C-alpha cells in the first residue's frame, strides 16, 4: 500500500508553499514524496500536484527541511503527502502549509509522531520561524533587494549582473540564505556578492555589442552603455566604433523613453569628451553616425509630443511640443556665453528656449530662431495645431569631421569651425526654400575677417556629410556675434576659410546654364518629335524610329529636371522626381547605345536586314533594363532617393553603381562604336580629301555622330576628380553641351535635312487644300539632299550607300 498523509483545512485555501520536516536519520524515506492539493479525500492522487516529487538531493539535506513550492498557487482544502507507486515508510515530524484565504494569511501546522497526528490552524503565515521577509539592504553604496523566501532556502537578488558581464543574462548580482530553524526562527544570512566576471572597459563594451538589443532590455543596454562610456580614458577607436553600432541598435527601436534618450545624450557627450575624433579623419563615418543617432532619438521623442531637455557638458538637446496659437513671435533655442567668450563646458541653466521677438545677442553663444513662416508651413502640412521641434547644440565640432577642411592645406592656418554647432528640426516635414530665412547667431571663438556661414549636409561624401554653403549667407555682425541667414533647417556653424566660397558663384552659373539649356532642348526635341510623327515618310524606317525614342527619353529627362530638380519641399514629390530623373537618364543613354548598335550594323557589318523584330527587341532593352535597375535601387532603399538639396540620388552606392557605372560602361561602348564607324566612313573609302567640302562633310558627320551617341557625356566623367585643375572647365563644357543635346538633334536631324524642309514647305504651300494632310504624308524621301550624308564619300560601294541613305544628317 502507498504510504500517505493528509490534513483537511476545512476551507479552500490557495496554497503557496508546503514545508516538510523529517527526522535527520530517515531523510531518504521522503524521496519521491508528492505533495497534492485538492478536495478529494478518497482518491488523493486525483488532486493537483504541488511542485515536483521530492528528489533524492532535497530529501538528504542535513537540516531535514524540504520546501515544496506550488507554482502560481494551488487551491483546495485537502493537503496530502504520498509516496506514490512505493511501499516504503513515510516519516514526518512536522508539516507547515502556507497559503491565503480571503486575502488573509494563515499558517496550518501539523505536529506528527509515529503514532498520533495533531493538526492546528492559525492565521499567521508571516511567522518569523517559517519565512524570511524580503528587504532592501545597502552595501558599500549598492542596494540589494531580496524577495520573501521560506526557511532553509537561498534567495537571489532582484538586481542582475550587467548585460556586459561574463555571467551572461539573468545572473543575480548577489545571493542571501534564509537561515535558522523552527525553534529560533528564520533569519537572513550575509549578502554574498556575485563575481560577475567584469574585466576591462573594452571587453565590457564588446560583450554588450554581442547582446541583441530588444524592447525588453533596451533601457538596461542604454544605461550600461552610458555607464561604460564614462570611462573616457579607456575608449579607443575600435571601442568607439562598437559604441556607435550599439547606439544605432538602440535608436532603431524608436522607443520614446526619457531614460533611453537621456542615456543616448550622455553617450554622445562621453564620446565627445573622449577626444577620439580630434584628429582622426578615418573616423569620419563613425563620428557622423553619433550625430544621426542622436537626432533620430530626438525625432522619436518629438513625434510623440514629449517635452524633454538634457544639458551635458559638451551637448545640449531639447524637444518641444507647442501649441501654434501661443507662438506669436519667433521660437529660438539659445546657448548662453561667458560675456565675450564661449563657455568651455555647458551647464544646465546655459541653454533654454526663447519666445521673445528680440534675442539678447550680448548673451548669445549660439542661437537659432524659427520664424513664423516655419510654423505656418508645419501647420499647413500636418494640419495640426501643435508644432513639434527638437534642437541640438554642440560645444565643439569634433563630431563634424570635414574631409574638405582636412584636405585643404593651402594656407598656413588651416580652416576650422569657429563656433558652437547648433541645429533645429521640425518633426514630420522638411524645411527648405524659405522666404523668411532661419536666423542663426554665433559668438566666434576668435576674430577673423574671413567668415562664412555653412551647414552640415548629410547628402555629401556618400552620406557621411560635409560642410556646405548652399542656401546660407552671412547677414551682419552685431555685438561681436555673427548672424547667418539660411533657407532651411540643419546643423549650422560659422567656418573660417571655407574653400568652396571661391567657386560658389561658378556653381550658380552652371545651374543657370543647365536650366536655360534644358528649356532650349525641350523646344528642340518637341519640334523633332512632332515633325517625325506628323510626316509618315519620316517615321517609316528604323533609324527614324530610334531617333524618335531617343528624343522622347531626352525630352522627358529635360522636362523632369527643369521642373522638379529643386522641388525639395515635398518628400514624396522629391523622391518621385529623383526616380524619374534616374530612369530617364538611364533610358536616354541606353537609346544612344542602341543608335550606336544600329549604325554599326548598317554601316560596318551591313547585315541589318537579317535581324527579325529589331525594334521590338531594342524597345525592351531601351525601356526595360533601366526600369529593372531603378526598381532594384528602389527596393534597396527608397528613402535614399530623398535629398534635401536637390531631387536626385545623392552621392553614394546607388548613384555610383546604379547610374554612374552603367553610364560609364555604355559610353565606352559608344566611343568604340564611334571609332569603328568613322574608320569605315573615312579610311575605308578610296576618296581623297581633295576639297574643302569633303573635309567639312566628314567633320559634320563626326559631330552629328557624337551628338547621337552622347559622347559629350564623357566630359562629366572628366570632371569627377575634385582635385583636378581642369575640373571647372570640364564641368562648364558638360553643362553646356549636354543641356543643349536636344537642340543639336533638332538642328542636325530637322533643320539640316532637305527632305524634312521639303516636307514642311509642301505642307505650307498647300495648307488650304483638303489634300494637304495626305500630301504631307507622302512626301518623297528621294532625291539629292543638301544635308550631311554619312556615306556620300563613296560611289562604288552601292550596298553601304543604300543603307546610308536612311541616316541623313
pLDDT tens-digit readout, 141-197:
778 888 888 777 888 888 888 776 766 566 788 888 888 765 667 788 878 877 776
Give the pLDDT of residue 296: 92
Residues pairing with 364 in the sheet: 336
State the average pLDDT for the chain. Answer: 77
- How far apart are alpha carbons 522 and 556 in whole angstroms? 9
Q: Which of 306, 228, 313 is nearest to 261 (CA)?
A: 306
| Three-class SS of 385-431 | CEEEEEEEEECCCCCCCCHHHHHCCCCCCCCEECCCEEEEEECCCCC
Q: What value does the CA radius of gyration of the chain take, rounded to a whole number of Å?
A: 41
Torsional sign, CA 224, 225, 227, 232: positive
Q: Please report the sign of the dihedral spanned by the C-alpha atoms of residue 457, residue 458, residue 460, residue 466.
A: positive
Give residue 622's pLDDT. 92
Cell of residue 792, nine digits: 556620300
DSSP, residue by residue, 716-773: HHHT--TT-TTHHHHHHHHHHHHHTHHHHHHIIIIIT-HHHHHHHHHHHHTTTSTTHH
Measured N-to-C along each axis, helices 284-303 and 258-274 cross at an angle, to the nearest 10 degrees, of: 160
In angstroms, the CA 6 to CA 14 distance is 16
Structure confidence at residue 328 (pLDDT)? 60
Residue 668 burial (CB count, 10 A): 12
C-alpha count within 13 angstroms, C-beta hemisphere, residue 423? 23
Confidence at residue 783, expressed as pLDDT on a 0 to 100 scale: 36
Please, what is the end-to-end C-alpha distance for the chain in angstroms?
114
Q: What is the pLDDT of residues 672-714, one digit of tens each?
A: 888 888 887 776 554 444 455 555 666 666 676 777 777 778 7
pLDDT category of residue 798 using cuts at 50, 70 and 90: very low
Q: CA separation (Å) from 508 to 76, 469, 504?
A: 87, 12, 6
Percentage of the chain surpassing pLDDT 70? 77
Name, of 357-361, 459-463, 798-802, the range with top average pLDDT. Answer: 459-463
Question: pLDDT at position 355, please?
Answer: 66
Question: Look-up: residue for cell 576639297?
Answer: 691
Instruction: Identify the pLDDT of residue 497.
Output: 39
CB–CB of 145/159 below 8 Å? yes
Per-residue pLDDT for 335 more than 80? yes
Contacts of 57 (CB under 8 A, 6+ apart): none
432 neighbors 487 (Cβ within 8 angstroms): yes
Beta-carbon neighbour count of residue 328 at 10 Å? Answer: 9
- Which range is most confident: 7-11, 528-532, 776-780? 528-532
pLDDT score for 701: 66
Residue 491 has pLDDT above 60, yes or no: yes
Indicate the pLDDT class of residue 62, thresholds 50, 70 and 90.
low
Cell of 708: 547621337
Q: Which residues of 180-199 are buried (b: 16+ CB within 10 A; e: fewer)?
A: bebeeebebeebeebebebe
Q: Give yes or no for residue 620 having a pLDDT over 80.
A: yes
Q: What percent of the chain has pLDDT over 90?
A: 15
Q: Lowest mean pLDDT: which of 80-89, 348-357, 384-393, 668-677?
A: 348-357
Angle at 507 between CA 559 and CA 578, to 5 degrees: 35
Segment 416-431 shows an average pLDDT of 81
Distance CA 250, CA 121 (A): 54
Residue in 667, 665, 659, 661 with CA at minimum distance from that of residue 641 = 659
Q: CA angle at residue 230 from 224 to 232, to 5 degrees?
A: 130
- Grid coordinates standing for 488? 532651411
The grid coordinates listed for 463 are 552620406
Q: How far apart are alpha carbons 429 and 426 in whole angstroms?
A: 6
5 in Cβ contact with 82 (< 8 Å): yes
Predicted local confidence at residue 408, as pLDDT? 55
**Confidence bin at 614 (pLDDT 50/70/90):** confident
Q: How many helices (H) and strands (E) does the chain have?
A: 22, 28
Q: What is the CB neighbour count within 10 angstroms for residue 496?
A: 21
The burial class, CB within 10 Å (0-12 / 13-18 / 19+), for 305 is middle
Q: Say yes or no to pLDDT of 782 above 70.
A: no
Exposure of 21 in the CB half-sphere (CA atoms within 13 A): 17
**Which tens digits make up the pLDDT trace of 214-234?**
998 999 999 999 998 988 887
- 537-575 pLDDT tens trace: 777 788 888 889 999 999 999 898 888 887 776 778 888
Quick check: helix, strand or coil at residue 364? Answer: strand
Report d(CA 84, CA 487) in Å as an integer: 84
Q: Are 472 and 486 in contact (CB under 8 A)?
A: yes
Asked if residues 579 and 619 have their Cβ atoms less than 8 Å apart, the reply is no
pLDDT of 800: 39
Range with top average pLDDT, 297-306, 414-423, 795-804: 297-306
What is the predicted pLDDT for the residue at 724?
A: 60
- What CA–CA distance (Å, rounded) separates 716 from 727? 9
pLDDT, residue 609, reads 57
Other CB atoms within 10 A of residue 682 CB: 15
Cα separation, 420 vs 400, in Å, equals: 11
Query: How many Cβ atoms are within 10 Å of 302's Cβ, its own excluded?
Result: 24
Interhelix angle 237-252/201-209, rounded to 10 degrees, is 30
Residue 808 has pLDDT above 70, yes or no: no
Alpha carbons 301 and 604: distance in angstroms, whole number? 66
The predicted-structure confidence for 638-674, as pLDDT tens digits, reads as follows 777 876 667 887 666 787 888 888 988 998 998 888 8
Taking each helix axis from N to C terminus, what angle separates 727-739 and 504-534, rounded to the nearest 10 degrees? 20
Residues 247 and 213 sit within 8 Å (Cβ to Cβ): no
Look-up of cell digits 543641356: 739
The better pLDDT of the pair 678, 576 is held by 576
More confident residue, 604 or 802: 604
Q: Is the pLDDT of residue 804 over 50?
A: no
Q: Which residue intervals of 371-503 are DSSP H helices?
A: 372-382, 403-407
Least confident of 28-37, 79-88, 671-680, 773-782: 773-782
Average pLDDT, integer, range 728-750? 83
Burial 217-241 (b: 16+ CB within 10 A, else e): ebeebbbbbbbbbebeeebeeebbb
Tell me the pLDDT band of 590, cut-offs 50, 70 and 90. Answer: very high
Taking CA atoms, 362 is separated from 266, 475, 547, in Å, by 29, 17, 66
Q: E strands along 113-148, which residues?
A: 117-122, 131-132, 136-139, 142-145
For residue 67, what pLDDT band results from cuts at 50, 70 and 90? confident
The pLDDT tens digits for 260-314 are 999 999 999 999 998 888 655 678 889 999 999 999 999 999 888 899 999 999 9
Task: Answer whether residue 325 shows pLDDT above 50.
Answer: yes
Amino acid at each position: 500500500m502507498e504510504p500517505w498523509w493528509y490534513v483537511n483545512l476545512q476551507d479552500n485555501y490557495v496554497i503557496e508553499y508546503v514545508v516538510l520536516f523529517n527526522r535527520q536519520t530517515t531523510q531518504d524515506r521522503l524521496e519521491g514524496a508528492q505533495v497534492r492539493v485538492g478536495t478529494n479525500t478518497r482518491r488523493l492522487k486525483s488532486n493537483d500536484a504541488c511542485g515536483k516529487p521530492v528528489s533524492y538531493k532535497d530529501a538528504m539535506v542535513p537540516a531535514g527541511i524540504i520546501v515544496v513550492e506550488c507554482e502560481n498557487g494551488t487551491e483546495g482544502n485537502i493537503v496530502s503527502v504520498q509516496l506514490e507507486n512505493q511501499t516504503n515508510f513515510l516519516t514526518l515530524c512536522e508539516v507547515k502549509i502556507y497559503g491565503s484565504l480571503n486575502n488573509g494569511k494563515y499558517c496550518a501546522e501539523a505536529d506528527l509522531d509515529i503514532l498520533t497526528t495533531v493538526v492546528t490552524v492559525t492565521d499567521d503565515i508571516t511567522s518569523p520561524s517559517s519565512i524570511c521577509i524580503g528587504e532592501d539592504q545597502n552595501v558599500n553604496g549598492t542596494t540589494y533587494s531580496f524577495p520573501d523566501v521560506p526557511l532553509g532556502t537561498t534567495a537571489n537578488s532582484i538586481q542582475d549582473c550587467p548585460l556586459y558581464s561574463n555571467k551572461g543574462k539573468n545572473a543575480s548580482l548577489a545571493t542571501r540564505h534564509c537561515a535558522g530553524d523552527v525553534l529560533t526562527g528564520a533569519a537572513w544570512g550575509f549578502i554574498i556578492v556575485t563575481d560577475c566576471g567584469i574585466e576591462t572597459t573594452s571587453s565590457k563594451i564588446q560583450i554588450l555589442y554581442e547582446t541583441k538589443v530588444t524592447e525588453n532590455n533596451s533601457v538596461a543596454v542604454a544605461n550600461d552603455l552610458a555607464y561604460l562610456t564614462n570611462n573616457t580614458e579607456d575608449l579607443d577607436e575600435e571601442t568607439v566604433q562598437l559604441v556607435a553600432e550599439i547606439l544605432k541598435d538602440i535608436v532603431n527601436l524608436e522607443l520614446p523613453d526619457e531614460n533611453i534618450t537621456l542615456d543616448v545624450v550622455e553617450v554622445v557627450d562621453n564620446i565627445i569628451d573622449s577626444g577620439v575624433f580630434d584628429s582622426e579623419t578615418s573616423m569620419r563615418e563613425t563620428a557622423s553616425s553619433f550625430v544621426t543617432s542622436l537626432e533620430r532619438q530626438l525625432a522619436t521623442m518629438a513625434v510623440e509630443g514629449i517635452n524633454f531637455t538634457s544639458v551635458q557638458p559638451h551637448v545640449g538637446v531639447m524637444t518641444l511640443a507647442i501649441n501654434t496659437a501661443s507662438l506669436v513671435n519667433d521660437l529660438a533655442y539659445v546657448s548662453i556665453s561667458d560675456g565675450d567668450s564661449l563657455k568651455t563646458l555647458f551647464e544646465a541653466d546655459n541653454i533654454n528656449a526663447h519666445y521673445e521677438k528680440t534675442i539678447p545677442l550680448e548673451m548669445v553663444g549660439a542661437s537659432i530662431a524659427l520664424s513664423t513662416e516655419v510654423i505656418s508651413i508645419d501647420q499647413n502640412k500636418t494640419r495640426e495645431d501643435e508644432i513639434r521641434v527638437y534642437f541640438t547644440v554642440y560645444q565643439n565640432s569634433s563630431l563634424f569631421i570635414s574631409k574638405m577642411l582636412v584636405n585643404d592645406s593651402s594656407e598656413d592656418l588651416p580652416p576650422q569651425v569657429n563656433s558652437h554647432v547648433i541645429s533645429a528640426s521640425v518633426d514630420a516635414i522638411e524645411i527648405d526654400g524659405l522666404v523668411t530665412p532661419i536666423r542663426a547667431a554665433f559668438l566666434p571663438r576668435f576674430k577673423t575677417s574671413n567668415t562664412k556661414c555653412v551647414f552640415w549636409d548629410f547628402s555629401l561624401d556618400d552620406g557621411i556629410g560635409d560642410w556646405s554653403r548652399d542656401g546660407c549667407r552671412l547677414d551682419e555682425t552685431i555685438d561681436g556675434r555673427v548672424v547667418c541667414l539660411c533657407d532651411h533647417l540643419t546643423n549650422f556653424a560659422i567656418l573660417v576659410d571655407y574653400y568652396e566660397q571661391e567657386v560658389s558663384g561658378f556653381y550658380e552659373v552652371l545651374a543657370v546654364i543647365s536650366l536655360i539649356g534644358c528649356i532650349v532642348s525641350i523646344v528642340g526635341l518637341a519640334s523633332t518629335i512632332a515633325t517625325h510623327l506628323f510626316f509618315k515618310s519620316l517615321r517609316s524606317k528604323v533609324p527614324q524610329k530610334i531617333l524618335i525614342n531617343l528624343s522622347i527619353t531626352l525630352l522627358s529627362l529635360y522636362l523632369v529636371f527643369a521642373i522638379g530638380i529643386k522641388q525639395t519641399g515635398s518628400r514624396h514629390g522629391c523622391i518621385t522626381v529623383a526616380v524619374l530623373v534616374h530612369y530617364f537618364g538611364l533610358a536616354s543613354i541606353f537609346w544612344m547605345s542602341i543608335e550606336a548598335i544600329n549604325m554599326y550594323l548598317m554601316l560596318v557589318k551591313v547585315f541589318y536586314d537579317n535581324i527579325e523584330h529589331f525594334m521590338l527587341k531594342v524597345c525592351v532593352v531601351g525601356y526595360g533594363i533601366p526600369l529593372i535597375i531603378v526598381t532594384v535601387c528602389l527596393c534597396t532603399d527608397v528613402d535614399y532617393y530623398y535629398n534635401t538639396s536637390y531631387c536626385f540620388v545623392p552621392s553614394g552606392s546607388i548613384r555610383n553603381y546604379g547610374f554612374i557605372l552603367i553610364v560609364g560602361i555604355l559610353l565606352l561602348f559608344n566611343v568604340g562604336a564611334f571609332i569603328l564607324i568613322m574608320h569605315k566612313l573615312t579610311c575605308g573609302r578610296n576618296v581623297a580629301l581633295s576639297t574643302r567640302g569633303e573635309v567639312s562633310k566628314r567633320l559634320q558627320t563626326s559631330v552629328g555622330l557624337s551628338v547621337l551617341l552622347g559622347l559629350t557625356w564623357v566630359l562629366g566623367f572628366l570632371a569627377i576628380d575634385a582635385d583636378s585643375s581642369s575640373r571647372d572647365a570640364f564641368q562648364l563644357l558638360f553643362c553646356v553641351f549636354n543641356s543643349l543635346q536636344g537642340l543639336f538633334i533638332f538642328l542636325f536631324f530637322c533643320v539640316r535635312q532637305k527632305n524634312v524642309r521639303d516636307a514642311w514647305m509642301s505642307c505650307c504651300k498647300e495648307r488650304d487644300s483638303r489634300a494637304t494632310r495626305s500630301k504631307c504624308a507622302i512626301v518623297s524621301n528621294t532625291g539629292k539632299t543638301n544635308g550631311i550624308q554619312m556615306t556620300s564619300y563613296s560611289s562604288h560601294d552601292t550596298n553601304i550607300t543604300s543603307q546610308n541613305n536612311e541616316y541623313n544628317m
